[in-house]
Structure formats: structure tokens, C-alpha cells
Amino acid sequence: MKFTNLYKGIGMMGMVAMAFTSCKRDTNNPGLEFAPNMYQSVGYEPYRQVENHPINPMGLNMREPVAGTVARRNYATNFGNGDSTRVDLMIYNVPKDSIGISERTLTNPIPLTEQSLAEGKVLYVRYCQHCHGATGAGDGTVGGVYQGVPNYKGGAYQTMNSGHIFHVITHGKGRMWPHGSQLNPEERWKVVHYVHQLQKEDS
């Protein structure tokens, strides 16, 4: 009789365990962690934060750069090979409203090669295509909803020079907002190469 009681007890426990484990997990709950001190970083990481930072404003691990700091995102300063090598720090202090200065003074320091054009295309697909469209006709998937996206081959757009395009990517113009935070100057110049290609192509 003792054995049957034991069996009964184990059976009951088994059923309870089944009932608990078969429940669906709440999607808001990340689940159990074993030894969390091996999961959480000892140093302060920007994108992994469990507790408020004790010193920084708003408890953020990240801090804003000191006011007046000039971002220097591209570390290469030589572009091109041989005699055509150009040295450019790519730090341009052209104010947002002075697009004329950019048009007159800025030139593309990156030589136009097959590679730079291909890289420009990759960047164009990532950062521009959803509005400006694959051919630059302003017919991207977002462009239709956003409205006011020009056709690169239309009117004055067809002849816009490199400095102008660079300035617009950096600071925005009209309905387009600045994209300088997403593309560093070197990448912007590569996009400029590809945009020139789209201005020329026959549609």
C-alpha cells in the first residue's frame, strides 16, 4: 500500500509540473537568467542598460559630445592614386542657408571610378531609394506618400552640380531633411557620383 501512495504522489506532482511547464510564456518577460553578473556588462555600454547611470544626465550611459566639438568621421585623407591623389579633410563649415557657397566652392575629392560608383549605388539604395526611386525619378515607395520628391532628370535638377547635391544631403533642402548624421562626408561624395549618373541616364 505504501508503494501505491508513493506512486500516486509522484503522479500528482508530475501533473502539476506538466500544468506549469505547458503554459505559454508572456512575451513581455525575457525569462530566467542564470548568473546575471555574467550577462550584464561591468563597463557602461551605450545600448545595454539595466540600471540608471549614477552621474550622467537622465541616467543615460551615453553622453553627448562637448558643445562645439567638430565630428571627424572619416579618417582617410588621401583619395585617388598617383598624381591625381587629393588630400581633403572633408570638414566643411558651410552654413545650412549658404547653398550658393557649396555650389561654387565644393568639388568631389573622390575620383570617379567603377568602385566608387558601385559603392555610391549601394549607399543610394540604402539611404535614398525609398524616396527618390531606383532611377531617381522621385517614384520611390515612400516618395508617393511623402510628396514633393523631384525627378533628377527634370528641369533645373538635371544640371545641379556636386557641391549642391553634397550640401542638400548634408543639410537638407525644401521638404528633404538633413541626412548628414547617417552618411559621413566620404559616403556623401560617393552618393554624389551615383546621383550624377542618374541625372544622365536615359529613362
Name residues contacting other proteins, limited to 53-82 (CB under 8 A). Answer: 58, 60
91 backbone dihedrals φ, ψ, rounded to 5° = -110, 110
Binding piece for other proteins, criterion CB under 8 A, among 105-113, 142-150, 161-169, 194-202: 142-150
Binding piece for other proteins, criterion CB under 8 A, among 77-85, 93-101, 106-114, 123-131: 123-131
Three-state DSSP class for 5?
Answer: helix
Among 102, 129, 162, 170, binds other proteins (CB under 8 A): 129
DSSP code per residue over 55-112: SSGGG-SS-PPPTTPPP------EESSGGG-EE--------TT-HHHHHHH----S--
Three-state DSSP class for 158?
Answer: helix
Among 5, 28, 81, 84, binds other proteins (CB under 8 A): 28
> Which residues have C-beta within 8 Å of that of residue 54, sequence separation ≥ 6?
none
In the complex, minimum distance from the CB of residue 1 to other proteins, in angstroms, rounded to a whole number: 12
Q: Which positions touch other proteins (CB under 8 A)?
A: 4, 7, 10-11, 13-15, 17-18, 21, 25, 27-34, 38-42, 45-48, 58, 60, 125-127, 129-130, 137-138, 141-143, 145-151, 153-158, 174-175, 177-179, 181-182, 203
